């Protein structure tokens, strides 16, 4: 456990030192929140959807967590390119321990990012309907962060360099976000799109956050928690197995 803690702390410090990255990663969620929240707010309200900021804020939080978590996992490619990974792998520590420490560090940074975006949404006018549900919302933040840090790690173990990174962004990360219900309600979707939404793990993260913070749910909090928990365990196992086979 002490080794996991050291690796977690090392990953956390490493990311926090990169202040430009943390500040820069706030740009896109902030743009979506302001441009869509205030731009489409009147249209959403006239359509009978209510206050769009209330609907949008949990989705924007999920967006910030998703991007930060994925990038934290993909840092393995950077470490491999510059030889840092080799130094880590030759240490007399099981690779599973290294992977868990890295994942916890990346997930912690992603969770902090989610908390920062939550504070920004409060400034923009978002208000949770039940402040007592904040601990439940925090659980979903942590699960989303853990899941997608593990996904990023699994992806990084399969890529040799950054050449495939843009492909991952265009064909995995962005579809995960746009098809999660973060920006639009999931009711009355075409059957094919509805099926895709239901196999998108981020859909359950967004729905869980939205349910905890605003009381609006497409599924149920228990369904969201169960699916996210199982998917997190699955990708932790897959990421650990792939990391155990990685060559520096």
Q: What is the predicted pLDDT for the residue at 37?
A: 83
Cα 75 to Cα 173: distance, rounded to the nearest angstrom: 16
Q: Which of 71, 62, 96, 85 is nearest to 239 (CA)?
A: 96
Residue 59: other Cβ atoms inside 10 A: 24
Q: Is the pLDDT of residue 23 over 70?
A: no
Return the exposure string of 179-212: e unless at least 16 CB atoms fall within 10 Å of the residue's CB, then b.
Answer: bbbbbbebeebeeeeeeebeebbbbbbbbbbbbb
Q: Which of 168, 162, 180 is nearest to 77 (CA)?
A: 162
Place of tokens 């593990």: 150
Each as own residue / partner, the long-range contacts of residues 19-22 (CB below 8 Å, 24 or more positions apart, any chain) are 22/109, 22/113
Confidence band (pLDDT; 50, 70, 90) for 90? low
The residues, ordered by sequence, that sit 6+ positions from 158 with a Cβ below 8 Å of its Cβ are: 242
**Average pLDDT of the residues in 111-119:** 90
Q: Is the dihedral of CA 130, 131, 133, 139 positive or negative?
A: positive
Confidence band (pLDDT; 50, 70, 90) for 28? confident
| Whole-prediction pTM | 0.88
Place of tokens 């967006």: 63
Q: What is the predicted pLDDT for the residue at 119?
A: 92
User: What dihedral do alpha carbons 24, 27, 28, 32 form, nearest 10°?
Assistant: 170
Confidence band (pLDDT; 50, 70, 90) for 20? low
> Worst-scoring range by mean pLDDT, 55-64, 163-172, 195-204?
163-172
Rounded to the nearest integer, the mean pLDDT of the chain is 82
* Domain coverage including residue 155: 2-244
Confidence band (pLDDT; 50, 70, 90) for 9? low
Q: What is the predicted pLDDT for the residue at 247?
A: 66
Q: Which range is most confident: 28-37, 182-191, 208-217?
A: 208-217
**Average pLDDT of the residues in 214-226:** 91
The number of C-alpha atoms within 13 Å of 7 and in the hemisphere containing its C-beta is: 22
Our count of domains for the chain comes to 1
Q: By CB neighbour count within 10 A (0-12 exposed, 13-18 middle, 19+ buried), where does 119 fall? A: exposed
The answer to whether the CB of 227 falls within 8 A of the CB of 204 is: yes
């Amino acid at each position: 456990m002490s080794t996991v803690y050291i690796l977690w702390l090392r990953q956390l410090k490493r990311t926090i030192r990169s202040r430009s990255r943390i500040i820069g990663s706030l740009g896109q969620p902030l743009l979506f929140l302001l441009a869509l929240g205030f731009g489409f707010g009147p249209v959403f309200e006239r359509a009978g959807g209510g206050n769009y900021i209330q609907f949008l804020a949990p989705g924007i939080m999920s967006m910030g967590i998703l991007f930060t978590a994925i990038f934290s996992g993909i840092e393995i490619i950077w470490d491999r390119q510059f030889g840092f990974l080799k130094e880590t792998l030759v240490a007399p520590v099981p690779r599973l321990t290294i992977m868990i420490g890295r994942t916890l560090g990346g997930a912690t940074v992603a969770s902090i990012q989610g908390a920062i975006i939550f504070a920004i949404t409060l400034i923009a006018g978002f208000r949770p309907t039940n402040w007592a549900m904040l601990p439940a919302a925090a659980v979903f933040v942590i699960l989303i962060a853990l899941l997608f840090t593990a996904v990023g790690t699994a992806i990084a173990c399969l890529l040799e360099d950054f050449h495939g990174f843009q492909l991952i962004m265009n064909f995995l990360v962005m579809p995960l976000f746009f098809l999660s219900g973060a920006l639009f309600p999931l009711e009355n979707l075409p059957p094919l799109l509805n099926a895709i939404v239901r196999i998108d793990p981020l859909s359950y993260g967004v729905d869980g956050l939205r349910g905890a913070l605003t009381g609006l749910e497409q599924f149920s909090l228990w369904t969201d928690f169960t699916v996210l928990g199982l998917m997190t365990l699955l990708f932790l196992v897959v990421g650990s197995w792939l990391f155990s086979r990685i060559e520096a």
